[in-house]
Amino acid sequence: MSLLPLLFVAAFTLLVVVFLVALNNNKQCRYGIPLPPGCPRRRLPLHWSLFNLSPTVASLSMVLRRLHHAHGPVVTLWAGSKPAIFIASHETAHCTLVRMGATFAHRPSSSSLLSSGVNGYGVNSATYGNRWAVLRRNLCSHLAAADIGGPLRRSVDRLLQSLDRAAREAADGVVVPSDTLRHAVFCFFAALCFGDQAIATDADDDDGGGLLKRLRGLHAEILSLVVQLDALHLVPSMALQVAHYLPRSWKLLDAQRRHHATVMALVRARRLWQQKMCYVDTLLTLRLGEHELVSLCWEFMNAAAKTTSTALEWIMARLVLHQDIQHKLWNDITGDGRRSTTTTTTCGGESRRSFAEAVVLEALRRHPPANYLLAHTTDRDVSSVVQGSAFVIPKGSIVNYGVAEIGRDAKLWADPDVFRPERFLEGGEGFSIRGIPGVGGGGGPVPEMMKMIPFGAGRRACPGAAVSMKVLLSFMENLVVHFEWKPVVGGCACACGEEEEEEAPAVDMSEKPGLVTEMRTPLRTRLVVRQHVRR
Ligand code: HEM
């Protein structure tokens, strides 16, 4: 008789254990519908955004490639206790980002140090709602109304002069233009953010560097510290974590303080300049707090300059590697006096795309600066069917979109690894691609338009896409009209017409994974000033 209570306790404990195990297994499915396939037992150290995780992105892309190969275009990994869904299908991307735009317009909450610091009040980190809408509308209207012609001309002129000087001073004209290109793009966006006069502050000051150089240095310093601190969970022991964490967080706080002071110095200077409207002026009319103002300036400069300058370096690298394309581009730009930077419209109303635009689009397809969109999340469970299998994307999961994978999908693109701008001209498989899919609501365009999404799609798509395209076209065209960009093979420049040595690649096109996917080896090229410029 006395055994009965014991048996009852044992049976009850067993029931609880069975229930808990079942509950744990059920994390892999909701209402009987499974999560997308993946490796449920392997919990990768993911944060909400891949942008915060550069040390592990390289290994992650290999894991993902294997998973996609084994299970199809939608797979699951685990970020701590949250499922992280990875989408590499343009149809599912269209369905979730465009057709169900409002459901997938949310961002996961973040514990990242960037989000609690300089990035805390940005458009990208704002919860989908009123504040986000006001800030985003403000940014979009500023970019649409901004007169970019003047700052663009000044930045391009300064860039050409710097490269001219560098090529003259270098042996045989061989230069590594990466930093000069990046600085020119940074100065252009600084003019849009802080006013035209900001470019003038780039001259050396007492500290041996201009305000913009200092600001750019601070961006690099903060990003590098955030990446190191976000990788903290990879450090094996608690003691090491503390030793790793404390000095770096102190440095981060200090860098953020200096960043705050530099931005406010530019804002104060701006008030004296009294020029055409800049982004800071629009923010001042919104009556934001100082931290919000600084955070939004950080976001503007960070989102705009790093991505655009990275794209520019990839474009120029491609033109060095493919001399025939560079030649065709030069002919197209200079032929019959045309110096167009945009698509032209014929009398019939249909648009004819310039070869220059086709080159930029092909570079963005083949080398998207962001290999993944910023992470999205959903406000409810969403069921979907991919390749005949039903699955659920649970509410609150981290949803990542493989930009590079979609742009290189062999089902959408012929010879996807080949760099061929002609695919964006009439008759090519990319000709129909225009603008950003789904922005402006209304269900969005057909999935055909989602063959590449370097700027994202739907409500959270990049608000700077149109400006970036103009900047890339203008910089690229001017750089090609002014210089011949020649390959440097095996450490020595090849003169025109000489046979290239086969064994040494002229340009290393391998990628360095990170917040933005840069070239692993910065471009090295021989610059030759063109005849018509010399005259
Ligand atoms: C080649 C240049 C650029 C590339 C490749 C690029 C790419 C992207 C991508 C992939 C996203 C995430 C979209 C999503 O999560 O669905 C994004 C968001 C964003 N970008 Fe860009 N971008 C570029 C230039 C710019 C510029 C010039 C600006 C501003 C001046 C800008 C401001 C932003 C902002 C504020 C967001 C967040 C939007 C939101 O959450 O509502 N970007 N960009």
Strands of the 525-529 sheet, one edge to the other:
174-175, 525-529, 483-486
Q: Which of 376, 462, 472 to mutate to test the pocket of ligand 1 (most atoms within 8 A of CB)?
A: 462
- Per-residue model confidence (pLDDT) at position 525: 96
Question: Which atom belonging to ligand 1 lies closest to the Cα atom of 107?
Answer: 40
Give residue 303 CA to ligand 1 midpoint distance, Å: 6
Could you tell me if 390 and 384 are in contact, meaning their C-beta atoms sit under 8 angstroms apart?
Answer: yes
**Residue 299 Cα to ligand 1 middle (Å):** 10
**Does residue 126 register a pLDDT over 80?**
yes
Higher pLDDT, 48 or 365: 365
The set of residues, in sequence order, having a beta carbon less than 8 Å from that of 430 and lying 6+ positions away, is: 361, 362, 365, 413, 423, 424, 451, 452
User: How far, in Å, is the centroid of ligand 1 from the Cα of 279?
Assistant: 16
Domain 31-533 annotated CATH 1.10.630.10:
yes
Instruction: Report the pLDDT value the prediction gives residue 297, as an integer from 0 to 100.
Output: 97
Distance 370 CA to ligand 1 centre (A): 9
Instruction: Tell me how far apart the alpha carbons of residues 477 and 492 are, in angstroms, rounded to a whole number.
Output: 26
Q: Is 311 in the pocket of ligand 1 (CB under 6 A)?
A: yes
Structure confidence at residue 445 (pLDDT): 54
CA–centroid distance, 236 to ligand 1, in Å, is 35
The winner for highest mean pLDDT among 12-26, 138-152, 191-205 is 138-152
User: Is there an atom of ligand 1 within 6 Å of 455 CB?
Assistant: yes
Rounded Cα gap, residues 265 and 255, in angstroms: 15
Q: Whose CA is nearest to atom 31 of ligand 1?
A: 464
CB of 460 shorter than 6 A to ligand 1: yes
Distances (CA, A) of 489 to 53, 108, 230, 445, 521: 34, 46, 39, 45, 14
pLDDT at 238 over 70: no
Binding residues for heme: 462
The pLDDT of residue 144 is above 60:
yes
How many residues are there in the chain? 535
DSSP string, 244-305: HHHHHHHHHHHHHHHHHHHHHHHHHHHHHH--S--HHHHHHHTT--HHHHHHHHHHHHHHHH
Say yes or no: CB of residue 228 within 6 Å of ligand 1.
Answer: no
Mind giving me the DSSP string for 357-412?
Answer: HHHHHHHHHHS-S-SBPPPBB-SS-EEEEETTEEEEE-TT-EEEEBHHHHHT-TTT
* Res. 93: pLDDT tops 80: yes
Which of the residue ranges 179-183, 245-249, 363-367, 485-489 would you say has the lowest mean pLDDT? 245-249
Which residues, other chains included, contact 98 with Cβ-Cβ below 8 Å and sequence gap of 6+? 437, 438, 443, 444, 445, 450, 457, 458
Contact 263, 294 (CB under 8 A): yes
As a whole number of angstroms, the distance between CA 132 and CA 124 comes to 8
The whole-angstrom separation of Cα 276 and Cα 254 is 33
Q: What is residue 440's predicted lDDT score, i.e. its pLDDT?
A: 52
Percent composition of the chain: helix, strand, coil (DSSP 3-state, to 5): 55, 10, 35
Which ligand 1 atom sits closest to the C-alpha of 311? 1
pLDDT for the residue 485: 97
The torsion angles phi and psi of 210, rounded to 5 degrees, stand at -75, 170
Among protein residues, the one whose CA lies closest to atom 1 of ligand 1: 308
Exposure string over 460-498, b if 16+ CB within 10 A, otherwise e: bbbbbbebbbbbbbbbbbbbbbbbbbbbbbeeebbeeee
Q: Is 483 in the pocket of ligand 1 (CB under 6 A)?
A: no
Ligand 1 mean position, distance from CA 403 (Å): 13
The region of weakest confidence among 267-276, 331-340, 371-380, 387-396 is 331-340
pLDDT at residue 40, rounded to an integer: 57
Is 215's C-beta closer than 6 angstroms to any atom of ligand 1? no
Q: How far is the CA of 22 from the centre of ligand 1 (A)?
A: 42
Summary mean pLDDT of the chain:
82
Rounded distance, CA 434 to CA 452, Å? 10
**Which atom of ligand 1 is the closest one to the Cα of 97?**
16
Please give the annotated binding residues, written as ranges.
Answer: 462
Q: In the structure, what pLDDT confidence band is assigned to residue 43 with cuts at 50, 70 and 90?
A: very low
In the prediction, which pLDDT does 233 show? 58
Q: Is residue 522 over pLDDT 90?
A: yes
Name all contacts of 51-54 with Cβ < 8 Å and 24+ positions apart: 51/370, 51/372, 51/374, 51/375, 51/515, 52/110, 52/112, 52/114, 52/226, 52/227, 52/230, 52/515, 53/227, 53/230, 53/231, 54/227, 54/513, 54/514, 54/515
Pocket of ligand 1 contains residue 370 by CB under 6 Å: yes
59-64: average pLDDT = 77
Most confident range (mean pLDDT) of 178-182, 195-199, 206-210 is 178-182
Q: Name 3's Cβ contacts closer than 8 Å, sequence gap at least 6.
A: none
Q: 389 versus 454: which is more confidently predicted? A: 454
Q: What is residue 82's predicted lDDT score, i.e. its pLDDT?
A: 81
Rounded distance between C-alpha atoms, residue 450 and residue 363, angstroms: 16
The confidence score (pLDDT) of residue 245 equals 77
pLDDT at 277: 86
Alpha-carbon torsion (292, 295, 297, 300), positive or negative = negative
Q: Which atom of ligand 1 is closest in space to residue 376's alpha carbon?
A: 15
pLDDT category at 241 given cuts 50, 70, 90 is low
- Nearest CA to 401 among 139, 51, 66? 51
Q: Which helix (H) or strand (E) holds 82?
A: strand 82-87
CB distance 92 to 73 below 8 Å: yes
| Cβ proximity of 456 and 435 under 8 Å | no
Q: What is the DSSP letter of 84?
A: E
Q: Is residue 349 packed enough to be buried (19+ CB in 10 Å), middle (13-18) or exposed (0-12)?
A: exposed
- pLDDT category of residue 25 using cuts at 50, 70 and 90: very low
Distance 138 CA to ligand 1 centre (A): 15
375 CB within 6 A, ligand 1: no
pLDDT at 32 over 80: no
